[in-house]
Amino acid sequence: MVNKATKPTDNLIGRDAWNIQLDNNGHLKHFLTTEGLGTDILTQILDTAESFADINEKSVKKVPLLRGKTIVNLFFEASTRTRTTFELAAKRLSADVLNINISTSATSKGETLLDTLQNIQAMHCDMFVVRHSDSGAAHYIANNVAPNISVINAGDGSHAHPTQAMLDMFTIRRNKGANFGNLRVAIVGDILHSRVARSQIHALNNLNTGEVRVIAPKTLLPVDIENMGVNVFHDLHTGIKNADVVIMLRLQKERMQGALLPSEQEYFKLYGLTEEKLQAAKSDVIVMHPGPINRGVEIDSTVADGKHSVILDQVSYGIAVRMAVMTMTLGREKVAGDNTGDNK
């Protein structure tokens, strides 16, 4: 846990989030949130990811861009998909990867987070990939690491999950084209507890998406959600009508306090996505989900595995997007040139 004396607070989030993300030349140094980053930076991430998107098809799946760099996965929360894709992304860039088991680390024995960071950076690492249950933890770490170290936020509390949002944007762009201005995107489910939804909304608006909708019961919406530049719906059919993209979210029961829903069965009846309900969207709609999927709770298996689903594409594209972010932060002098390098 974060030491109470130095616990991250929401005052840190938003006040200087995008200021510390960029270096003096306006290049990405840390990637903590999609909020406040302009269209140019987000588009550069997508363009850079495009150069890595087909690396899975190559016989040799490595490029030498981050050879000699050391990347530390520092996960204070359990994760399979995110940690694995970060590890694969780093290895495919030829970086050395260190996975820290927090459950057996010194922080579980009483050491402060700051002491842990200082000890790890004394090993001459170059990047921390951080997941933490406290909102603001990644910002706190970025403000306290050595100047030569970059920090990527792999999810902090209910605040942000920027690489997930960008792999979602990449999935949309690959399926719908680069002009987000023509798109109507609907995000359905537990917006209140979702760091993914917040990062998606900021990214979609920064990419000038035509319309961003959120659909949920009132108990699963932040009170100020309209201020984020979205249109709010409480009825699923109305909310996804003529949508180009439907993004389903997991019910995050581990973060819920009190009875916010009558039952999972009732939630599925009203907000679960089925083939019948999906007919309200456009005929070429794509269906997305950041995972893990709760089948029969937020989405029916016929939709999750159906012709409109691009859920597995999201997982594949996550590697390319995380390669892009790592390259842009640790190899800032190289991103303007050839991102592929040689495969020898």
Burial 151-169 (b: 16+ CB within 10 A, else e): bbbbbbbbbbbbbbbbbbb
Which among 30, 92, 161, 184 is annotated as catalytic?
161
Which among 33, 70, 82, 329 is annotated as catalytic?
82
d(CA 190, CA 42): 25
Active-site annotation holds for 282: no
Which among 27, 43, 62, 81 is annotated as catalytic?
81
27: helix, strand or coil: coil
Which among 131, 132, 184, 322 is annotated as catalytic?
131
Which among 80, 104, 109, 307 is annotated as catalytic?
109
Active-site annotation holds for 81: yes
The C-alpha angle 67, 72, 73, rounded to 5 degrees, equals 125
Task: Give CA separation, 164 vs 84, 85, 161, 170, 219, in Å.
Answer: 13, 11, 6, 10, 24
Residue 93 · residue 63 · CB < 8 Å: yes
Residue 146 · residue 128 · CB < 8 Å: no
Number of DSSP helices (H) and strands (E) in the chain, helices first: 12, 9
Active-site annotation holds for 184: no
For the range 141-150, what are the long-range contacts, defined as Cβ-Cβ under 8 Å and sequence gap of 24 or more?
A: 141/113, 141/117, 142/20, 142/21, 142/30, 142/32, 143/12, 143/20, 144/114, 144/117, 145/117, 145/121, 146/121, 149/121, 149/125, 150/29, 150/30, 150/31, 150/126, 150/329, 150/330
Q: How many residues does the chain have?
A: 344
Q: What's the token pair of residue 302?
A: 């016929």
Active site residues: 81-82, 109, 131, 161
